[in-house]
Amino acid sequence: MATEANQRLMVESTLLREPLAGARADDLLIAVSAETGKAAEEALGRFDELIKGRRAGTVTEYRPKSLAVALDLLPSANWVLVSVPGRHAAEVARQALAADRNVFLYSDNVAIAEEVALKKTAGECGRLVLGPDCGTAIVAGVGLGFANRVRRGPVGLIGASGTGLQTIASRIHALGLGVSQAIGIGGRDLSREVGGATASQALALLAGDSATGVVVIVSKPPHPEVAERLLAQARAVAKPVVLQFQGYAVPGRRLGNLHFAVDLEDAAHLAVELAERSADDGAPEVAVDRGALRGLFSGGTLASEAYLRLSALLPDVASNLSGNQAAKLGAQAAPGHSVLDLGADELTLGRPHPMIDPELVVEHLARVGEERGVGTILLDVVLGDGAHPDPAAVLAPAVERVLAARDDLEILAVLVGTDEDPQDLEAQRERLEEVGARVFTSLGAAVDAGLARVATASAGRSPQGAEALEPPLVAVNIGVELFHEALVAQGVETVHVDWRPPAGGNEKLARILTRLEGSTMGQAK
């Protein structure tokens, strides 16, 4: 720009003999230093070609030196791909966010504190930061980083594992279906420090994406607390969600709209099956909060399995199964969700086991039924030799009394037995159903029914920034040139930045320049 300061610099560097009279600050001033007149003419001619290309919006060969110039050349760019060395990557990503762009951050060796700060900024401004150390993504039909060519379809992927995303996407393609989006989140996103920031954003976006019918989340071992929060958010999604958490103790094969895959191949098959089924049956219902869930079990193993399933999805499930005395006491009168093993030693001292005499179940049923904060009671009825000869005869009147007093309460009974047991399996079922209980022969189905009555506290973030997933994807690439070439091969409008470390890699000088730049910007504002 032909400002007075720039003209003085050009005079000092012998590119101008003297300042140009009549030049305005918003004029573009070009000077060429050449060994021959012919070389100077060729250079100026090349400049004319670049200017024409810029005006036509087809600049692909010119390599700007900075992100700011690249965005000036390609103002429609909505993504910035960053693959510069890790110690510089966070600063480049910050610049992209400050320019209101989404970031695909391939670079590794970015400090975790920097990752936390970048993702906090992205969440506040409604942008996405995929990474650091994000190797794979497919956004708006365009592969970023290392990506396979897959058809578009109804399965949305979220992955803290790049090769995991590639494997599932490729298998879905091979099975005849396609991918709506594949959002890489970086290998540390589900760590305790980062807290699943991008995973939560991505899940909210795919939950609201009309092109996505099924969501798949794949990850290396997540932190348990982060996994619990993400599972709770996934429960509130009105779509099937497939989860493949490596090294994570899954609470079952299925819980409501959540489906747990044993490996990557299984995740792909589940996603295809659910997508095809959803197309026919429609989306599952979203859980509606009807109060706390209480489990009253005479069978210790049933209580344990129910606790494992529920505690994986619900916060702070109390139980007398943990071995913690405070938890044991709290489980009997806890204000929230709880699972109680009524056959535990401390509860059967001096009295028969509840499978022999269900009166202990009746007592707890009456007390829990009076608690207005409780919306669902889950209990078991175990038949067979040695058990009470007719447990339904004892339990049904108690169930009837509790339900008669509470029209907002539901009782779910798991019936364990066979048609050859002396108690008569069908007769037991009929008696319990007559008084209003819902009877199941599968604990998993009963837990699912209970979870459907317990909504999560929050469905996660609002799907702010949904435009990040909309075509066309236009990108600026900074770093690995192969990624730029891959974008060009996919027909993407893109500019590649000829990036160099600030101050030639001199970190001390770079810090000084950054402070000076910040000071100058502050004065300008």
194 and 84 belong to one structural domain = no
If one counts the domains in the chain, the total is 3
Task: Give DSSP secondary structure letters for 91-119.
Answer: HHHHHHHHTT-EEEE------HHHHHHHH
The set of residues, in sequence order, having a beta carbon less than 8 Å from that of 35 and lying 6+ positions away, is none
142 and 118 belong to one structural domain = no
350 and 256 belong to one structural domain = no
Number of other CB atoms surrounding residue 231 within 10 Å: 24
Quote the CA–CA distance of 85 and 111 in Å, as a whole number: 12
As given in the structure block, the two tokens for residue 407 are: 């029209």
315 and 422 belong to one structural domain = yes
Quote the CA–CA distance of 299 and 492 in Å, as a whole number: 61
As given in the structure block, the two tokens for residue 19 are: 């300042």
CATH, residue 366: 3.40.50.261
184 and 119 belong to one structural domain = no
As given in the structure block, the two tokens for residue 214 are: 């099924």
User: Does residue 398 lie within any of the structural domains?
Assistant: yes
Quote the CA–CA distance of 294 and 339 in Å, as a whole number: 6
User: Does residue 344 lie within any of the structural domains?
Assistant: yes
Number of other CB atoms surrounding residue 512 within 10 Å: 12
304 and 428 belong to one structural domain = yes
User: Does residue 248 lie within any of the structural domains?
Assistant: yes
For residues 479 and 81, the answer to whether their CB atoms sit within 8 Å is yes
Quote the CA–CA distance of 466 and 464 in Å, as a whole number: 6
Quote the CA–CA distance of 268 and 35 in Å, as a whole number: 63
Q: What is the pTM of this model?
A: 0.68
As given in the structure block, the two tokens for residue 157 are: 């992927």
Number of other CB atoms surrounding residue 214 within 10 Å: 30
Domain membership of residue 208 as a residue range: 134-281
Q: What is the per-residue pLDDT for 326?
A: 44
**HSE (CB half, 13 Å, CA atoms) of 514?**
14
pLDDT in tens, the chain (525 residues): 787 877 888 888 888 888 888 888 767 888 888 999 999 888 888 887 776 655 444 445 678 999 999 999 999 999 999 999 888 999 999 999 999 999 999 999 899 999 999 999 999 999 999 999 999 999 999 999 999 999 999 999 999 988 999 999 999 999 999 999 999 999 999 999 999 999 999 999 999 898 999 999 999 889 988 988 898 899 888 899 999 988 777 767 888 789 999 999 999 999 999 999 876 665 455 455 678 999 999 988 999 999 988 887 777 788 888 655 445 544 555 678 899 999 988 888 889 999 999 999 999 999 999 988 899 999 999 999 999 999 999 999 999 999 999 989 999 999 999 999 999 999 999 999 999 999 999 998 898 888 878 865 444 444 567 889 999 999 999 999 999 999 999 999 999 999 988 766 566 666 666 666 555 444 443
258 and 302 belong to one structural domain = no
Quote the CA–CA distance of 183 and 128 in Å, as a whole number: 10
115 and 183 belong to one structural domain = no
- Which amino acid is present at 175? L
Of the candidates 384, 386, 376, the residue with the CA atom closest to the CA atom of residue 413 = 376
State the pairing for strand pair 374-382/214-219: unpaired
